[in-house]
Each structure stands twice: as C-alpha cells, then as structure tokens.
Structure 1
Amino acid sequence: MKHTDGVMTGREQRAVFWRLLRYAGPHKKRFMLALAIMMVAAGAELLQPILIARFIDDYLTPQLFELKPLLTLAVLYVGLLIAAVIGQYVQSVLFWRIALSIVQALRLDVFAHVQKLGLSFFDRMPGGALISRITNDTEAIKELYVSVLAVFVQNGVFMIGTFLAMFYLNATLAFYCLAFLPLLLAVVGLYRKISSRFYEQVSAKLSEINAKLSESIQGMAIIQAFRQEKRLQKEFADTNEAHYRAGFRAMKADGLLLRPIVDVLSHLAIAIILLYFGFGSFAGPVEIGVLYAFVNYLDRFFEPVNQIMQRLSLFQQAIVSAGRVFRLMDQQEFAPGKQGDDKPQMADGEIEFDNVTFSYDGKTDVLKNISFTVKKGETLAIVGHTGSGKSSIIHLLLRFYPLKQGSIRIDRNELSAYPEEELRQKVGLVLQDPFMYSGTIASNITLFRDGYTQADVEAAAAFVGADAFINKLPDGYQTEVTERGGTFSSGERQLLSFARTMIADPPILILDEATAMVDTETEEAIQKALVAMEQNRTTIAIAHRLSTIKHADQILVLHQGEIAEQGSHEELLSKKGLYYKMYLLQAREKTAAI
C-alpha cells in the first residue's frame, strides 16, 4: 500500500478497510454462525412491536379480551424477548472472540515483520514512534473489531429488518422514511472526510509524544546532569498541546456531525409519521397499533443509526491507525539475507575484505577500498578516531547492512552465501555497551538457546571471570536481572556479555571496544580471559585503549574511512605515523593521571 505522509484519500481508506477485513478470513465459519444468531435475535426483537400492534388494534381497541389468544400473544412476546436476549449475548461473545483473535494475529504479524527489518530502517525510525505503531495503533485497530464492526453489522441487520417490518405495516409511509437514508449517508461521508485529517494529526502527535518519552527516560542521567529539565518540559508541553488541539478539533467534528444531526433527522421522521396519520384521520379511522408500531420502529431505526454514528470516530481512528501499521508492514528494508543455494559451514574462520566501499545514505562513503585478511587464530585490531569507520567494518561483517561494492569472504566463501543460523552461531559479538534482558543471570548467558546445561553456564562464567561476583550474590545464577541490568556495574554487565558469547564457543570473535566501559581492575581480569578466548579463534577487536591490543598479530589504523597504516604494534611505532602519535598521546594522559 503506497502512501505518503499526510491525510489518506477515500480510496486509500477503502483499501485499508478491505485489507483489515482479510484478517477475518480464517474465522469465516464462526463469523457466519454469529451473523445467523444475530439475524435470529434481530428478528425476535423486530417482531415484538408487531405483536403489540396486533394486540392494540385487534383486541384492545375493539374491547375483545379473549383469554386464549391473549395468552398466546403474551407467551409469544416473552419467548421473543428471551430469544432476543440470548441471541444478542451469544453473538456478542462470538464477535468478541473473533475480534480478539484477529488483533492477536495482527500484532504477531507486525512484531514478526519489525524483527526482519534491517538496521538501516531502525537508524531512521525513532524507537518511541515504532512502539506507538505496535501498541497504540494496534489498540485502536482492536477497537474497530471489538466495538465498531460488530456494532455496524448488528445494527445494519437491525435497520434492514426494521424497514422490512415498516413495509409490512405500511409501504407508502415506509417509502417516505426511506428518503432519510441518502441524508444519513451524506452525513457519514462528510464526517469521514473531515475527521480523517484530524485523526491523522492525533496519531502523528501521539507518536511524537511516545518518542520524546522514550528518549527522555533513556537519557535521564544526561538530562539531570546538564539541567535540561525545563527545556524538555517545554518541548513535551508543545507536542502535548499540538496533540490536544488535534484531538479537540476531532471532538468538535464528532459533536456536530454525529448524534445532533441524527436526532434532528429522527424528529423530522416522527413529524412525517404524525402528519401522515393526522391527515389520514380526516378520511377515516386511524390504526393506533400501526401508529404505535411505526413510532416504535423509527425509534429502533434511529437508535442503531446513533450507535453507528457514535462509533464512526472509533472507526476513523482505527482506519488511520491501520494505515500507519500497514505502512510499517509494507516496509521492505529487510536485513541482508542468504543468497544462493549453497550452505557453506564455517570451520577455520579466515576473514577477507576485498576492496570494500560502503555508504549508509548512498551519498557519503564511510569506508573506502578496505582490504585485509585475518587468518585462522589471528587477532586483528582496528583503531582510529571517532567516525573513521571502525564499527562500520563490524556491521558489514555481521551482515547488518547490505554490501554493494567489494567483497567479504569467510573461509573463502562469500559472506552472503552463509545461512543466517550459521552466521549468528559461529560469529560471537561483544559490544561496548552490553544489553541485559529481564530474567535471570543464567538466562542472560544462554539467551534461552537450547542445548546448554547449568554446567555450561557456570563454565562460561568461570572462563571470563564472571563467577567471582555471581557466586557472591544470594541467588547466584538465578539472581533476577532488572531492565537493562541496572543493578549491576558496567564491568559486571560486560563480563556477563563475555560469558554469553563464549558459551557458544564461536570460531570468530568480534570485540567492539569491549573494555571501554570497564574499570582498570576489571579490565585486567578481562584481558586475562581475552588471551584464552583468542586461542585458536579468529578475533577482530576494535579498541580505544592501545595498550590492550599490543599483542594483536596486525593492527589497522583507519582515518576518514581509509586504511592509513597497517602492521604489528612494533612496526607501527617504528613508522612514527598516526598510530605512533595516538600511542604517545595516551601514554602522556596515563602519566598525567598518575
């Protein structure tokens, strides 16, 4: 579904609506059953005024009070009343079950689709706005199925039945009342046209509110440290005010175009009926029962109209929200996947970059003609100033972004040829800022992957030195980890991420400034573990502290996306180039700190 930001056209709204209805496909049988029960319940309810009209005209007016026919009418009326109540309850439960199942499936589809998208999409999409699509917008869609469509179908059936009953009683008068339908349709069309613009603005501003909340909560330490509270409060207040104004405009449209206009039309219809019977009384007697039934049916007709009109706002919000969700689901910016039919296996872990050039935006190259080879068991360190392209090399090696120029090979096979499972299982990654999930320490190490025992967890933790602090905790490996591991120090979180990587024993290890967030004492413990980790394992380490990569077999010095220098620690120092200057600068900083 193609759509640019802004107000959806009527054609786009219809396309969204039919796309939503396709989710009801697996529930056809249950829907037909609910519809049949609904029609029975509506028929039972619509027959009640006819029985009352017959009682008034055939028995009450002529003063005929025969027990048997009156008892029959009473039993029929009570039976119809009970049938209508039971039918309404059963069909309501069925519709709710269908609706909740559809929304459940939709949310699963959205979440699954988002997980397939590439990092290039998340680079542009604010996290708060994305959360708003998955939560607020799908909740609005739920209201469509739960509160709107069921009411539309139920009351639509009831309105049709009402007109049939009116035609049965008096076809001429029913034709007069039928003239109100085009007016109602015109009101609905006008409301949809006006409200769609307002609800698009409401949804957009709600996404901005969620984005600002997410950003503020994640950066609360910086906000308080730099006294940014007032500025952010003002920005949030401005966005909130814009959301309020859009919502208020939508409510004004609701207040004018929904119930008030329907009430005016219903009063006009009653006036027509009274005029019809009033003029008819000059020509002959009036059937009071028929008059009662018509007034009753008009009330029963316009009440469903009111219910439908009152839910038009929910319908419009749901269509707008569904459009936003479907635009997300139509995103085709997937993470690069496997290409070709071959299924190579990683064994040695030899890595080769061959004239790799890369750009995130397609305009500015962040990597330019990068070429290097890391043989089995070797350690390659990458250093350079911020923005030199260090992390971009890692992103490409992990196949987070598509490679358009050059070639990356592992064990002489193209990186694109490896299945996703093989690539993720055989390449271990440790980031500068490790992410912890809610759960236990043990589950954060295994990440709920199958095949690992408690002994494996403890061995991995002991291998990286994490067991020292884990064993001091009251619950040990079953200690609960709070959101993002906030109760642990940065060093402890990093040790857990090391254990998480090493439990899989990958042939390739990637360290993205793994010691940058760690104190000196913890760094020494990690360095001891790294020496063991790098044995018989191909390692690529991005490092800020040059003292931690002296042992590397080769070092790449990046500058503005290009390889400025390449060699061992001693070779680079002897060249007295960029690496030499960086090393001297860090040595002076360390001496000054002492």
Structure 2
Amino acid sequence: MVIRRLLLYLKPYQKRFWIAFAALLLATGADVVLPVIVSHFIDHYLVPRTFDRDTLLLLGGSFLLLQFLSAGLHYYQLFSFQTIAQWVIRQLRIDVFAKVQHLGLSFFDRTPDGSLVSRITNDTEAIKDMYINVLSSFMQNFIFIIGVFIAMFVLDVRLALWCLILLPVSLTLMQGYRRLSSKVYRISRQKLAQMNAKLNESIQGMNIIQSLRQEARLRREFGSLNEEHYRAALKNVKLFGLMLRPATQLLSVLATVAVLNFFGFESFMGTVKIGVLYGFLNLLDRIFEPVNQMMMRLSQLQQAVVSAERVFELLDRTEYAPQKQGEKNPVITEGRIEFANVSFSYDGKNDVLKNISFVAEPGQTVALVGHTGSGKSSIINLLMRFYPVERGEIKIDGHPLQTYDDQELRSKIGLVLQDPFLFVGDVKSNIRLHNESITDEQIKEAAQFVQAAPFIEKLPRGYEEPVVERGATFSSGQRQLISFARTMAIHPKILVLDEATASVDTETEEAIQAALQKMRQGRTTIAIAHRLSTIQDADLILVLHRGEIVERGSHQELLAMKGLYHKMYLLQTYGSAVEV
C-alpha cells in the first residue's frame, strides 16, 4: 500500500520515466550481449584458431560500440531517474508543508515541533533515497538478471534451468531481511524524531535551561535517546552484515562450484566448449553483483517505507483548522460580536468555557479579566476561529462565525499577542507581511500611529533593518510596537488584544496606551488584561473564573459589587485584599 502510494507520485512524470526505462533496457541488453560476443569469439575463432580479419574487426567493433552505447545509456537513465526523484520529493515536501499549514491548532497542541520538522526533512530525505537509489537500482538489476538468464539459456538450456534455483533462494534472503529490519527501522525513525523534538525544545528554552542549571539533566535525556537510536542502528548493522554480503557470497561460491562440477561431468562424456564455460562463469559472476546491490538497497528501501508511513500518516490527518461553511459570503462592516451560550473543551472531557454569553457592540471595548486558567485566551481562540465552536454560537454582525471566509476574518480582525512573533527579514516586511496592497507610506503611517516610528527611524537602516529569527535583537517592547504597526496597517474593524502591554516598560506603556485609545476609536475591541489599570475605561468588563463569567459591568460597577474583581483590584493596587 505504501509502495503503491509512493509510486503514484511518479504519474506526472511518466513520459520521462518510460524513456529512461527504455534506455535502461537497451543499456542492460548491451551489458548482457558483451559476454556472449566473447564466448562466440572463443569457441568459433580462438580455440579453432580460424582467424578472419573482417570478422574479427566486426566483433571488436561491435564490442567497443556496445561498451560506449552501454556507458551513454547508463548515464542517461541514471540522470533521468535521479531527476525524476528530485521532482517527486520536491512535490512531496510541498504537500507535507501545505498540509501542516492547514492543520488545526489542536494538532499542534499535542505534537512536538521537532517531530514535525523530522517528518518534513529527515523522512522525506529517506524517501528521496528510495527514488534515487532503490527504485532505479531495483529496476536496473532486476532487468539485468532477466537478461543474464536469457543469455544463459542461449548458451546452455539445461544449466540455465538449474541456475533458476538461485532466484527463489535470493528472494527468500531479501524477504527475510526486510521483515526483520522493519521493526528496527521503525524504532530508529521514532528515536530520531524524539531527538529532534528534544533538541528543538532545548534550543527554544536555552535561557531557562542555563539560568536554572538544567544542562546536565537535558544532556542525560538527550544522551538516553541517542543511545536508544544507536542501539537500533547497531541491530540493523548486524542484520545487514549477516544476511547480505556474506549470504550472497556463500550462494555465489556454491553456484560457481555447481557450474564447474556440471562442466566436469560434461568433460567425461564429451567435449566442453571453453567459450560456453567462460560465458557461464562470467554471467554467473554478473548475476550475483545485482543481487548484492539489491540486497544492500533493502536497508534504504526499509528506511523509505517506514519514513513514508510517517509522512503519509501526517498527510492523512483530519484535524483541519475550522473551515468556512455554507455558500453565503458575509462581510464585516460594523464589528458587532455576540457569544451565545458558548461552551468549549480542548480534550472533549473537561470544559474550559461554560455557557459564555456577552455582546460587544460596534466601537465598544470589552475586557476579559480573571486568574490564570479562567478561560480568557480560549474565548480569543474561538473568536479567531483557531478552534471550532462545538456548543453555542458566535456571531459577528449577526452572521455565524463559521459562515465567514478566512480572508474576510483575517483582514478585518487584528490580533496582538502578549509575546509577538517576528519573522526573519526586515522591519518593513514584518509590518507588511507580504501584503502587497500595503504601501511603504502606509507602513510608515502605521508605525507613526502606534509610536513605533521614533525607534525604527533611529535604527542604522531604518525600516530595512534586518530582523533575525523571532526578532531576538530587538527588545520585547520594540517587538510589541512592530506587531502593533503590523495590526494597524490592515485597518481592522475588530481589535483583539491579548495583554498587549505586558511586555512593555512603563514609559513605553504610556505612549502605547495613548495609541490604543486611537486604535480603539470606531473599532470593537476585545482585550485580555492582567493589569486592571489598563482597562478601567472599558465599556464592559467580564470577570471569568473556572470557565464561567461570574461578574460583569463597568469598572465602578464591579468595585461596588465588592466581589472577585474588587479583590483583584485591591491586590494589584495595595498588595493586599484588605482595603487601606
């Protein structure tokens, strides 16, 4: 099943494939004919010592012509098969990467990043080896073996029939190795993926590892995975060393002895043609080299099959990001948001949101507050349609959230996270994010609007200042300002702020608060806040506790209730829940 699915990737390139296959047939034919020509020369000219100049020139010219023809055809078929293999792997990597881009966040919640990287890079590389080395090698050697047996039958039918016994014996060896090595390779690929995951985790958390002196522990854990990978690889080396070259060499010696005995008995009963003897020994020697090559390629085949299983398992995943439903194409014009009895669970067992209901009118600011784990971010995740709404309903401008096109949602809802993500490139490209409809002038206006222009213009190259991975050379406040500019460059109707000022110092926060006031004007804003001082002017504050809205109202109304919000306010203002 896996092999057949891999071969289906050859379909778009079948014309080039069959041309290369024809070249392979011709090259194999030339290789097989060469010992037959030599055998004919020995029996009909060398032994009888009947030399004819024209015939010898013809035989010699044919021999050289076939040599050059074989070399040229082998080059063409090898180049063609490798080119096709590169095309196939290029397409397979695109398919895997595209699949990953469309999987829902629920998949990424439980899949380590390093494991995904391993599938897209290491596993596809192993599959490439199958197309480049295994497929062409098996085809070439299989055809060569058929050609050798045809030549054997031309030389001596009886001995050729006896030599057919070699085929089932060789196939049994190959099947035995494949069966034994499959389990070993599966373990090896799993451990490699786990090592990649551990390495990725270590690199991302290096500052924590070093600050908490966890280097020794991580080294032990990585060393343990590395040791398990080494042991699996060593088991395969033992199988390879035992069942491949030694086994085929033993088979080759036994076959050679059998052929010599056959001709020995023939010599007692009559004459033996030296040319036929040479031809058979030459062909017998040639037949075991392709068997050896196919046996040696079995390890790469097994790696490719195991890797393909992992890649196709990823391609067959069905945890897609929530998709648009229905034929209607509503447009966000006002920005009115309504949650109606929304409940949600990440694992299908424990609800993190329970009957959430509220309305954010156009232009209003609704703040979400509560302790860690109260469900604030889950509300944002559902509004952004990162996860499907399973119970209850979310509407924007009166239309169900699931009826909107992705492009409409992403262009009308601006998201600013607490930990902004910057891509490798420059400042300008991080604000534009390849949206060609945003001009350079609009980028500068957005940066000016969110108070980012002063620090950007002081950079050595201004808006073309290079940005390294995750924007590591910028301060957290600078990264946040750039993400603010990125959001405002698309002029969203709805703003979603996930504690947008948490990474900014007090001086910068004052400037950003002023920018936020302008950003919120005429836009519906949903803001997660830990510092209550930043949302005191919100039109509606929702206090969440264990997935439920336990209080709602304005800042003053909530203080008057003297409930959970009042305690949180006292803790942040005075450091104690007892009023001063």
Q: TM-score, normalised by structure 2?
A: 0.99
Q: Contact 2:570–2:576 (CA<8 Å) still a contact in 1?
A: no
Q: Give the alignment partner of residue 567 of structure 1, picking from 549, 553, 556.
A: 553
Q: Give the alignment partner of residue 435 of structure 1, picking from 413, 421, 439.
A: 421
Which position in structure 2 is the counterpart of 1:143? 129
Q: Give the alignment partner of residue 188 of structure 1, picking from 169, 174, 177.
A: 174
1:404 matched to 2:355: no
Which position in structure 2 is the counterpart of 1:10? none
Which position in structure 2 is the counterpart of 1:177? 163
Q: Partners of 1:399 and 1:357 in 2: how far apart?
A: 14
Which position in structure 1 is the counterpart of 2:252? 266
Which position in structure 2 is the counterpart of 1:483? 469
Which position in structure 2 is the counterpart of 1:385? 371
Which position in structure 2 is the counterpart of 1:361? 347
For residue 188 of structure 1, report the CA deviation from its aligned partner.
1.2
2:473 is matched by which residue type in structure 1? T
Q: Partners of 1:166 and 1:589 in 2: how far apart?
A: 95
For residue 551 of structure 1, report the CA deviation from its aligned partner.
1.1
1:162 matched to 2:148: yes
Q: Deviations over 1:36-57 (max 9, x none)?
A: 0111111111111011111111
1:69 matched to 2:55: yes
For residue 385 of structure 1, report the CA deviation from its aligned partner.
0.2
Q: Contact 2:337–2:397 (CA<8 Å) still a contact in 1?
A: yes
2:461 is matched by which residue type in structure 1? D
Q: Deviations over 1:211-263 (max 9, x none)?
A: 00000000001101111111111111111101101111111111111111111
Which position in structure 1 is the counterpart of 2:93? 107
Which position in structure 2 is the counterpart of 1:54? 40
Match of 2:458, SS state, is coil
For residue 524 of structure 1, report the CA deviation from its aligned partner.
1.0
Which position in structure 2 is the counterpart of 1:326? 312
For residue 272 of structure 1, report the CA deviation from its aligned partner.
1.0
Q: Give the alignment partner of residue 249 of structure 1, picking from 207, 231, 235.
A: 235
1:43 matched to 2:29: yes
Q: Give the alignment partner of residue 211 of structure 1, picking from 173, 185, 197.
A: 197
Q: Deviations over 1:529-556 (max 9, x none)?
A: 1000000000000011100001110100
Which position in structure 2 is the counterpart of 1:457? 443
Q: Deviations over 1:379-400 (max 9, x none)?
A: 0000000000000000000111
Q: Partners of 2:220 and 2:363 in 1: how far apart?
A: 55
Q: Partners of 1:165 and 1:146 in 2: how far apart?
A: 28
Which position in structure 1 is the counterpart of 2:502? 516
After superposing on structure 2, the runs of 4+ consecutive aligned residues of structure 1 that deviate more than 6 Å are none
For residue 574 of structure 1, report the CA deviation from its aligned partner.
1.1
Q: Deviations over 1:102-122 (max 9, x none)?
A: 011101000101111000000
Which position in structure 2 is the counterpart of 1:420? 406
Q: Deviations over 1:309-343 (max 9, x none)?
A: 00100000000000000001110010111011100
Q: Partners of 2:403 and 2:449 in 1: how far apart?
A: 32
For residue 590 of structure 1, report the CA deviation from its aligned partner.
11
1:50 is matched by which residue type in structure 2? V
Q: Give the alignment partner of residue 224 of structure 1, picking from 210, 215, 229.
A: 210
Query: Unpaired segments of 5 or more residues in structure 1?
Result: 1-14
Q: Give the alignment partner of residue 289 of structure 2, picking from 300, 303, 306.
A: 303
Same amino acid, percent of matched pairs: 57
For residue 299 of structure 1, report the CA deviation from its aligned partner.
1.2
Match of 2:392, SS state, is strand
Aligned residue pairs total 577
For residue 156 of structure 1, report the CA deviation from its aligned partner.
0.8
Match of 1:248, SS state, is helix
Q: Partners of 1:558 and 1:578 in 2: how far apart?
A: 9
**Pairwise CA RMSD:** 1.0
Match of 1:367, SS state, is strand
1:584 matched to 2:566: no
Q: Give the alignment partner of residue 325 of structure 2, picking from 339, 347, 351.
A: 339
Match of 1:311, SS state, is helix
1:252 is matched by which residue type in structure 2? K
Match of 1:366, SS state, is strand
For residue 589 of structure 1, report the CA deviation from its aligned partner.
4.1
Which position in structure 2 is the counterpart of 1:8? none
1:425 is matched by which residue type in structure 2? S
Q: TM-score, normalised by structure 1?
A: 0.96
Q: Partners of 1:342 and 1:66 in 2: how far apart?
A: 88
Q: Partners of 2:432 and 2:5 in 1: how far apart?
A: 40
Q: Deviations over 1:369-415 (max 9, x none)?
A: 00000000000000000000000000000111111110000000000
